[in-house]
Amino acid sequence: MLTVVDTDLGYGQKIILPNISLALNANEHVAILGPSGVGKTTLLHHLYQQLAEQTCLCSQAQGLVDNLSIFHNVFIGGLARHSRWYNMVNLLLPFTQPQQHISAICQQLELNMPLQKKVSELSGGQRQRVALARALFQQQPVFMGDEPFSALDPLMGVRLLNLVKQSHQSVICVLHDAELALAHFDRIIVISAGKVALDANAKQLTLAHLSQHYVVADESPHHAD
């Protein structure tokens, strides 16, 4: 699906990941792990730039518009599928079909509240699910997420991860939850000390293997809801 060969990754003039080489295959579920600040997000954004036309990105920043409703924040994910005039009219008077589609996605994500509710009134976990809904509404074959389940309780996180996997041919996620990665992903890539420190089949790995490259226990996320 994508090959990165001897590429320097960073931002501005700062190189964070020098000479990175990596090959990603179609139909894989890949978790990117490692300590904070080592360039996991930088790597994910580079991968997204290479595959943007077939990928939806659920970033850590989320990019939600606080003064818009849940419906309109999710609908933003589908703007490219419609004309400017359709989108403008739908902003003022939402059409029935996209409302039904977005409602169904929100129900799947256990986001049971009026679509007209403003995002500014939501909790951290609810906002994260709106960002997930927007990604699902894009209807792309590849899903990339930067901590897309970090604000959810572990059981809900697993349920929604399974939904994401069912809805996309390929899934690539930056995670802090090593146990989630080991149990639910095919392949694990560990970024540490400015390089790919580990790239292996998840079935061949344990927490002990991962702890050789970073302190796994210190990377556990704090769940909002």
Q: Is residue 88 part of a domain?
A: yes
Which residues form the domain of 201?
Answer: 2-219
Regarding pTM above 0.85, the answer is yes
The rounded distance, in Å, linking the Cα atoms of 83 and 136 is: 20
Radius of gyration over every alpha carbon of the chain, rounded to an integer in angstroms:
18
Cβ atoms of 9 and 17 closer than 8 Å: yes
Q: How many domains does the chain have?
A: 1
Q: Is residue 53 part of a domain?
A: yes
Q: Is residue 224 part of a domain?
A: no
Cβ atoms of 163 and 110 closer than 8 Å: no
Q: Is residue 116 part of a domain?
A: yes
Greatest distance between any 2 Cα atoms in the chain: 55
pLDDT tens track, the chain, 225 positions: 899 999 999 887 889 999 999 999 999 999 999 998 899 999 999 999 999 999 999 988 888 999 999 999 999 998 888 898 988 888 888 889 999 999 999 999 999 999 999 999 999 999 999 999 999 999 999 999 999 999 899 999 999 999 999 999 999 999 999 999 999 999 999 999 889 999 999 999 999 999 998 888 544 444 555
